[in-house]
Structure 1
Amino acid sequence: MKAVDDNLFKTICELQQLPSLKTSVLGGGTSLAIRYSHRVSNDIDFFFPGIIGKIGYELVRKEVEAFYGEAVFAIDYPCDINDQFLFQRFFIRRDDTAIKVEILQNMQFYNTPEIISNIKVMSLIDIGPLKLITASSRANHKDIYDLDYITDHISLNELMNLLKTRRELYNKPEHQTIFDQDGDFDPINDPELLLKFEQPSKGSNSRPGHSNPRIDFIEGQKNWPSARSSWRRKVRAYYNSIGKEFPGIQSV
């Protein structure tokens, strides 16, 4: 079993060659699966640093349809408020599977993207704070599993400081993304959100999400109980560092 199978890898490479996706980078769990080979990933998430708007998304649609023909289907805009609060989702049929692709915009980057296995991926400095935000809002086990691996390389304290810096740098109305439409999920002011995964909730279809919530870890890597315990230890250490009492295990 591979973290990123051949069909998914090939599709990522093909999409990154399209002119309309040239300035986007691969983010999400698949970029981390390429980096760490820690768990199976089935989806593709591309991030644009700025706003491409409906015109940019329609260009993506036209190029994807021209390249894949009938293999691409269900092209949709699950959130379509205006040119700023907008993202695209579609599926590409490969053999007996359908690969979900989501394309997000206005996700300002600190760092230059990295090239891993000939794929342009978001740097850890950028993906780490974004993972904190998504984990705080949608409480998905996969996000926590990924964060545990990220924080094996960048401490949780450092990641929280990066998130704080990000919020200070990108705090104007034009910096807002679709995630800001859901309210303020801020683990800096409310660190209990770092444990929200213990009270999982179903995410909204109008927001990006995982096609399969199950964690299929690669042999030799952490299983979910191990990663969960590791994450809780890191959160406990973070609580100690900021002088807060660590909460007990959340009820389900």
Structure 2
Amino acid sequence: MTKDARALLRKIAPAMNSYGAVLAGGTGLALRLSHRISTDFDFFTPKAFDSHGLTAKFRRMGLSPDVRQADRRTFIAIFPESKFSLFQYPYPFLETDSFEGVKVASALDIVSMKIAAITQRGVKRDFVDLYYILQDMPFQKAAAALTTRYGTAISTLTIGKALVFFAEAEDSPDPVYIGEGVKWETVKRFFEKHVRQFVLDLEAAYSDCA
């Protein structure tokens, strides 16, 4: 995270805490793993919110958000330091820590969100983030986290296919790594090698929660 983005995070922390918002996404994970640069702030709150009131609150702080979307469930704005998003999100977080005064989602929470994101779109950064998480997290634990958050709403077939469908991701930009980073071909081979076992673990987790 850049120095300016970190300063922005400290400044908006009280506002985010007033909504019970949690920082997740790539930046939330990068704060834990230090694997890549990510300055987008993706916050999630269980509460409905007033986007116009949030805009006014930011301006009272001396900030100048370039608002791109504003409604009761989604607020997206561009700051000079970072892209900012706040989403109403009905799923409770399993664990959080604190960084610069804001709540940050756990790897268990982020792994399930990354899997869900990959079923909806294909971008390299999501595959890369999931790859790094799964280097230290057993597949069974990731599968259990997914079912805890979403139940059986996403079929194992959909997830299995998405984890080895790279066509869309090929056209997306490479992440900016801290240090050497992993090669894209290594990421693809990892999922191709392990997708069958992950689907089996997911089916077992689905069976347990049935």
Alpha-carbon distance in 2 for matches of 1:105, 1:199: 30
Equivalent residues of 1:156, 1:235 under 8 A apart: no
Tell whether 2:184 aligns with 1:188.
Answer: no
Question: How many equivalent pairs are there?
Answer: 201
Alpha-carbon distance in 2 for matches of 1:242, 1:102: 30
**Alpha-carbon offset, residue 242 of structure 1:** 7.3
**Alpha-carbon offset, residue 25 of structure 1:** 1.2
Name the residue aligned to 1:61: 55
TM-score (norm 2): 0.81
Unaligned stretches of 5+ residues in structure 1: 172-183, 203-211, 244-252
Which shifted more, 118-127 or 134-143? 118-127
Name the residue aligned to 2:176: 216
**Alpha-carbon offset, residue 238 of structure 1:** 2.2
Percent identity of equivalent pairs: 20
Name the residue aligned to 1:149: 132
Q: Which amino acid aligns with 2:32?
A: R
Tell whether 2:116 aligns with 1:133.
Answer: yes
Deviation readout 1:152-190 (Å, 9 max, x if unpaired): 22223322232223233xx9xxxxxxxxxxxx7x25242
Q: Which amino acid aligns with 1:216?
A: V
What secondary structure, in the 3-state scheme, does the structure 2 residue paired with 1:51 have? coil
Q: Which amino acid aligns with 2:194?
A: K
What secondary structure, in the 3-state scheme, does the structure 2 residue paired with 1:103 have? strand
Deviation readout 1:167-219 (Å, 9 max, x if unpaired): 33xx9xxxxxxxxxxxx7x25242212223x12179xxxxxxxxx84311121
What secondary structure, in the 3-state scheme, does the structure 2 residue paired with 1:47 have? strand
Name the residue aligned to 2:208: none
**Alpha-carbon offset, residue 103 of structure 1:** 0.7
Equivalent residues of 1:26, 1:121 under 8 A apart: yes
What secondary structure, in the 3-state scheme, does the structure 1 residue paired with 2:140 have? helix
What secondary structure, in the 3-state scheme, does the structure 2 residue paired with 1:17 have? helix
Alpha-carbon distance in 1 for matches of 2:26, 2:115: 13
Name the residue aligned to 2:79: 92
**Alpha-carbon offset, residue 143 of structure 1:** 0.4
Deviation readout 1:18-68 (Å, 9 max, x if unpaired): 2665511111000111111101113110111x1314x3x332211112213
Tell whether 2:5 aligns with 1:18.
Answer: no
Q: Which has the higher helix share?
A: 2
Alpha-carbon distance in 1 for matches of 2:16, 2:93: 23
Q: How does 1:40-55 map to 2 (within 5 A)?
A: 40-48=37-45, 50-53=46-49, 55=50
Alpha-carbon distance in 2 for matches of 1:87, 1:145: 26
What secondary structure, in the 3-state scheme, does the structure 2 residue paired with 1:18 have? helix
Deviation readout 1:216-248 (Å, 9 max, x if unpaired): 1121432333333233333243246679xxxxx
What secondary structure, in the 3-state scheme, does the structure 1 residue paired with 2:75 have? strand
Unaligned stretches of 5+ residues in structure 2: 204-210
Q: Which amino acid aligns with 1:68?
A: G
Pairwise CA RMSD of aligned residues?
2.8
Q: Which amino acid aligns with 1:194?
A: L
- Aligned with 2:30 (options 15, 29, 33): 33
